[in-house]
Amino acid sequence: MKLGAFSISLSVKDIAKSKQFYENLGFTEFNGDVQQNWLIMKNGNAIIGLFQDMFPENIITFNPGWDEDANKIEDYMDVREIQKELKSKGIEFANEADINTTGPSYFSIADPDGNQILVDQHV
């Protein structure tokens, strides 16, 4: 199963302080808008999203169809195919992708410990 680019989306209290902290760890701003309270930061292939006041908990994120630089890749598993396979394995969904659509969509699940996982396809 190809889940796509991996990142962690962190729910932060002060995006400016978090940005500075991760810059001190060698991360650089890759995408986003601090004025809108969200940034994507990179250190090599490591990707961290900083989100202030957008969701209550940290989220593990996968982006089918993207590489670590947000470039479209040709050979990827569509989010709806991933969803179908996980459903066949008995995984429960918090949100589901509409199987009657194509293109961008997402679903979310939680692992056995309640950690949120977002599979978010942008292509």
- Provide the terminal-to-terminal Cα distance of the chain, rounded to the nearest Å: 17
Region 17-42 average pLDDT = 97
Tokens representing 24? Answer: 């001190």
Domain span at residue 72 reads 5-121
**Both structure tokens of 80:** 């709806």
Q: What is the mean pLDDT of residues 17-41?
A: 97
The token pair at 64 is: 């089918």
Strand runs labelled E in 1-123:
5-12, 28-33, 38-43, 46-52, 59-63, 93-95, 105-110, 116-121
Q: What per-residue confidence (pLDDT) applies to 66?
A: 96
pLDDT for res 12: 98
pLDDT score recorded for residue 116: 97
What's residue 122's pLDDT? 95
pLDDT at residue 69 in the model? 93
Contact 29, 39 (CB under 8 A): yes
Quick one: pLDDT at residue 40?
A: 97
Q: Are 100 and 119 in contact (CB under 8 A)?
A: no
Residue 82 confidence (pLDDT): 98
How confident is the model over 1-20, as pLDDT tens digits? 999 999 999 999 999 999 99
pLDDT tens readout for residues 57-112: 999 999 999 999 999 999 999 999 999 999 999 999 999 999 999 999 999 999 99
Number of separate domains in the chain: 1
- The enclosing domain of 93 has a CATH number of 3.10.180.10
Give the pLDDT band of residue 26 (cuts 50, 70, 90): very high
